[in-house]
Amino acid sequence: MKVLIVGGGGREHAIAWKVAQSPRVDKLYCAPGNAGIAEVAECVDIGVMEFDKLVAFAKEKEIDLTVVAPDDPLAAGAVDAFEAAGLRAFGPRANAAILEGSKAFSKDLMKKYGIPTAAYETFNTPEAALRYLETAPMPIVLKADGLALGKGVLICKDREEAKAGVKTLMLDKQFGSAGDRIVVEEFMTGREVSVLSFVDGKTIKIMTSAQDHKRAKDGDQGLNTGGMGTFSPSPFYTDEVDAYCKEHIYQKTVDAMRAEGREFKGIIFFGLMLTEKGPKVLEYNARFGDPETQVVLPRMKNDLVELFEACIDGTLENVELEFEDNAAVCVVLASDGYPEKYEKGYKISGLEKFKDADGYYVFHAGSKFDADGNIVTNGGRVLGVTATGKDLKEARANAYKATEWVEFGNKYMRSDIGKAIDEA
């Protein structure tokens, strides 16, 4: 069969790498892809929001399955556009992708169906939000309602910061229309865990757990980023936590979406916080995580294409997910200055060292070919270096060893991905 993947980051490279291993796939395309993805797929120069062009391409090439990976096209109805043209596509339709696309929607859903999450209020005007903040308990969390590249969340330690936060989101519109409405939420403490799942509308199958490191600098200092590294599994995701989430969170979310007439087919990514009062949902994403995918898929034994098809066909019930009994760590190599200002266009060397090294992977997040055919840096996050090992300690040592194989101008990484875990 012929498969098209929509997206062009590290997550899409990991998905493309895994899809390419399926014996059922004869030809793989990726739009727009990147220099790393070009090793496993033919890259097509079409942007992720250019639905008309994507659909026309899929028709012309007689694509059997399109996988839409990023949040923006999903929320804007990419899967609906493919389906309207009679094409098969993996991912939630727009009416279900709202689970990630609107924090107000997801909070209301959790409240209505009794799914554990932080207490909250929603505000449509800055005046009402400011009035509430006069007496609300501090610290407090402000969230832009809409999609904001994972950056529309402000943790405010006191009233002054909270008021300034309302200005940032609702008046200065730092995240554009995503801040027209905000959710103001109780501040929670605890370990964070990311859990990805396959959903076919009725059935949900949980993948192995992972943990992200969102801050730019060591020791969780610095600005929030898209993610500087991940590890899998999370030692804090115990059998007890799993059982609790299965009873109170996972299936309930799938059933709630169905009851609302918003049947969800695709990936649900549960951002959980393990609080003293039990696991609670921090957020839902309606897609694979980046860079969680770069540690979860290398540990997965299943044929990914079969899983995508089972979600579309509603046959997930018959599938057993299987993961290696090992661990994986992904260290993001970024351009120094990310997530603010950084330079691009530096030649990347050493990539060939990964080719024959078993258990080592380099997933490209921001790379491209220059006019001379060299692979050069093309983003804030450049590469995700993943390694497996028998446990987290070994996987971490392997991943950091492999980060030394590659060089490029202004290379920057955190040195403590997965470290707190060893010491816990």
Binding residues for ligand GLY, per CB under 6 A? 150, 212, 227, 285, 289-290, 292
Does position 286 bind ligand AMP by CB under 6 A?
Answer: no
Does position 188 bind ligand AMP by CB under 6 A?
Answer: yes
* 235 upstream amide cis, omega within 30 of 0: no
Nearer to ligand AMP, 42 or 192 (CB): 192
User: Which residues lie closer than 8 Å to 375 by C-beta, 6 or more apart?
Assistant: 35, 36, 347, 348, 351, 367, 368, 369
Angle of helix 159-166 relative to helix 126-133, nearest 10 degrees, comes to 170
Q: How far is the CB of 212 from ligand AMP (least distance, A)?
A: 7
Among 24, 84, 158, 187, binds ligand AMP (CB under 6 A): 187
Q: Which two tokens stand for residue 228?
A: 């500087």
Does position 241 bind ligand AMP by CB under 6 A?
Answer: no
Q: How far is the CB of 199 from ligand AMP (least distance, A)?
A: 19
Q: How far is the CB of 136 from ligand AMP (least distance, A)?
A: 13
Q: How far is the CB of 102 from ligand AMP (least distance, A)?
A: 12
Among 73, 150, 226, 366, binds ligand AMP (CB under 6 A): 150
Nearer to ligand AMP, 64 or 185 (CB): 185
Subset of 157-186 contacting ligand AMP (CB under 6 A): 185-186
Q: How far is the CB of 206 from ligand AMP (least distance, A)?
A: 18
Nearer to ligand GLY, 87 or 228 (CB): 228
**Size, binding site for ligand AMP by CB under 6 A:** 15
Q: Which does 172 bind (CB under 5 to 8 A by kind): ligand AMP, ligand GLY, none?
A: none
Element (H, E) at 219: none
Does position 283 bind ligand AMP by CB under 6 A?
Answer: yes
C-alpha angle 19/249/303, rounded to 5°? 15
Q: Between the CA of residue 325 and those of 218, 299, 321, 388, what are the distances in Å?
A: 28, 8, 13, 10
Q: How far is the CB of 150 from ligand GLY (least distance, A)?
A: 5
Does position 282 bind ligand AMP by CB under 6 A?
Answer: yes
Question: Exposed e or buried b for every residue in 71-89, given b needs 16+ CB within 10 A?
Answer: bbbbbbbbbbbbeeeebbb
Q: Which does 70 bind (CB under 5 to 8 A by kind): ligand GLY, ligand AMP, none?
A: none
Rg (CA), the chain: 21
Nearest-CB residue for ligand AMP: 283
Q: Which does 290 bind (CB under 5 to 8 A by kind): ligand GLY, ligand AMP, none?
A: ligand GLY
Does position 136 bind ligand AMP by CB under 6 A?
Answer: no
3-state secondary structure at position 16: helix
Q: Which two tokens stand for residue 18?
A: 């895994």
User: Which residues lie closer than 8 Å to 235 by C-beta, 6 or more apart?
Assistant: 392, 421, 424
CA distance 5 to 89: 10
Q: Which does 183 bind (CB under 5 to 8 A by kind): ligand GLY, ligand AMP, none?
A: none
Does position 141 bind ligand AMP by CB under 6 A?
Answer: yes
Element (H, E) at 95: helix 94-101
Q: How far is the CB of 212 from ligand GLY (least distance, A)?
A: 4
Q: Is beta strand 375-377 parallel, antiparallel or unpaired with respect to 182-186? A: unpaired
Going by C-alpha positions, the residue among 345, 410, 411, 339 that lies closest to residue 380 is: 339
Q: Which does 285 bind (CB under 5 to 8 A by kind): ligand GLY, ligand AMP, none?
A: ligand GLY
Task: Return the HEC string of 160-194.
Answer: HHHHHHHHHHHHCCCCHHHHCCEEEEECCCCEEEE
CA distance 357 to 350: 13
Subset of 113-132 contacting ligand AMP (CB under 6 A): 118
Q: Report the number of secondary-structure helices (H) and strands (E) in the chain.
A: 14, 22
**Residue that is written with structure tokens 């989101």 in the block:** 169
Q: Which two tokens stand for residue 306?
A: 């079969």
Binding mask 253-272 for ligand AMP (x = CB under 6 A): ------------------x-
Does position 153 bind ligand AMP by CB under 6 A?
Answer: yes
Q: How far is the CB of 287 from ligand GLY (least distance, A)?
A: 8
Q: How far is the CB of 156 from ligand AMP (least distance, A)?
A: 11
**Maximum CA pair distance of the chain?**
61
User: Site residues (CB under 6 A) for ligand AMP?
Assistant: 118, 141, 143, 150, 153, 155, 185-188, 192, 214, 271, 282-283
